[in-house]
Amino acid sequence: MMEVTSERRGSTVIISTAGRVDGSNASDFQDALEANIGAEDSAVILNLAELDYISSAGLRIILLSAKNLRQREVGFSICSLSSSVHELFIISGFDQIIAIHSSPETALAAQES
């Protein structure tokens, strides 16, 4: 249903989430995000290219992560939204709360600038 993987580019971790995130696995999603973020990471990019669906329970986890990272002064952005998830981000105004990029490369470039 949901798969979370990560790769490192310097001090930035790119976390990719695939499948569905809803009320039934939102806490697993939260645990997976925390497990993939290291103490030394200076920025986190959440790659949602393979994300089919996210419910409000999943969006809340993204907000929580963003808040925690902001308090630790760790950068946070999201990239590669599918059109349906992007639509949801626009309707809910998430695109005004969290930086969104079209690809991991543009997200990385923005992190570095």
Partner 1 sequence: MAEATYKILVVDDEVDLEPLMLQRMRRDIRSGRYCFVFAHNGVEALEKLSEDEGIDMVLSDINMPQMDGLTLLEQIPTVDPNIKSVIVSAYGDMKNIRTAMNRGAFDFVTKPLDFADLRITIERTLAHLTEWRAALASRDQLVSLQRELDVASKMQKSILPTRFPSKGDYEVFAHMEPARNVGGDFYDVVNLENDRIGLCIADVSDKGVPAALFMMSSRTLLKGASIGCENPGDVLREVNDLLRETNDSEMFVTLLYGIFDPATGDFTYANGGHNEPLLVRPDGTSSLLPRTGGIILGVVPGVEFAHNTVNIGPGETLFLYTDGVSEAMNVEAEEFGMDRLAAIFAENPPRDAEATTMGVFKAVHAFAGETPQSDDITCLTLHRKEPGS
Contact flag: residue 99 with partner 1 (CB under 8 A): no
Pick the stretch among 4-12, 31-39, 49-57, 72-80 that binds partner 1 (CB under 8 A).
49-57
Q: Residue 34 has which token pair?
A: 């925390």
> Is the CB of 53 or the CB of 86 nearer to partner 1?
53
19 and 34 Cβ atoms separated by less than 8 Å: no
Pick the stretch among 6-14, 31-39, 41-49, 62-70 that binds partner 1 (CB under 8 A).
62-70
Determine if residue 11 is left, alpha or beta; phi over 0 gives left, psi from -120 to 50 gives alpha, anything else beta. Answer: alpha
Rule CB under 8 A: choose which of 31, 70, 97, 105 binds partner 1: 97
What ranges make up the beta strands (E) of 1-113? 2-9, 12-21, 43-47, 51-54, 75-79, 99-101
Contact flag: residue 14 with partner 1 (CB under 8 A): no
Give the interface with partner 1 as residue ranges (CB under 8 A).
22-24, 26, 53, 55-57, 59-60, 63-64, 67, 90-94, 96-97
